[in-house]
Amino acid sequence: DAEITQSPRHKITETGRQVTLACHQTWNHNNMFWYRQDLGHGLRLIHYSYGVQDTNKGEVSDGYSVSRSNTEDLPLTLESAASSQTSVYFCASSRGGQGNEQFFGPGTRLTVL
Amino acid sequence: QKEVEQNSGPLSVPEGAIASLNCTYSDRGSQSFFWYRQYSGKSPELIMFIYSNGDKEDGRFTAQLNKASQYVSLLIRDSQPSDSATYLCAVTPPLVFGKGTRLSVIA
């Protein structure tokens, strides 16, 4: 069955370290998204991509970067982790066009000490 | 800043009752509207989507859209304890999620 996976599921790191969160989908979806979810803020869009070599900034992109070298993967990199980036991170994908529903991965809980 | 507003709740309803969840959005250009359910510690999962004014029914769930009032709602009939979760409203374009309404169905 097609799916979307994230790794690692849990990560503890230190302030200033570079961290990369992986997202992999097997639906062959064009669109992929990264969100963070914090109490009181709901889901906030970090970066998104509408296809290979396409990346766009979302609402809270500062301190994060993504690259899209193939259809299946959209890794999220924290260049220099900060305590404010402690959060649950969700990756999502959708088929194409702006109106299609998104399918979410299981999430990665990141703690920055 | 495009906004999607939801009452954070908690909304408590007795088992078997109708739960009504509401969402308003600020961007009149928004065209697609989604309801997601999120259990504690889990990822959001799509329940329903609606594009046109009016009602759309799927089993115990009914989504209602009123573009003139910039209002979308989700009705859950015959609510069950297993419906207890946070319900997220999402609107696109642009892609924005509300903060969610926590629903508690009391047995």
Residue A57 has which token pair?
């900034």
Question: What residues contact residue A23 under an 8 Å CB cut-off, 6+ apart?
Answer: A4, A5, A6, A32, A34, A73, A74, A75, A76, A91, A105
pLDDT digits (tens, 9 = 90+) for A8-27: 999 999 999 999 999 999 99
Q: A32 pLDDT exceeds 70?
A: yes
| CA triple B99-B102-B106, angle to 5 deg | 175
A-B contacts (CB, under 8 Å): 42
CA distance A19 to A110: 10
Q: What residues in A contact B49, CB-CB < 8 Å?
A: 101
Residue A84 has which token pair?
């404010």
| Probe site for chain A from B95, B96, B102 (most A CB atoms < 10 A) | B95
pLDDT digits (tens, 9 = 90+) for A41-78: 889 999 999 999 999 999 999 999 999 999 999 999 99
CB of B93 within 8 Å of a chain A CB? The answer is: yes
**Phi and psi, residue A6, nearest 5°:** -130, 145
CB contact under 8 A, A104 and B34: no
| Amino acid at the residue A94 | S
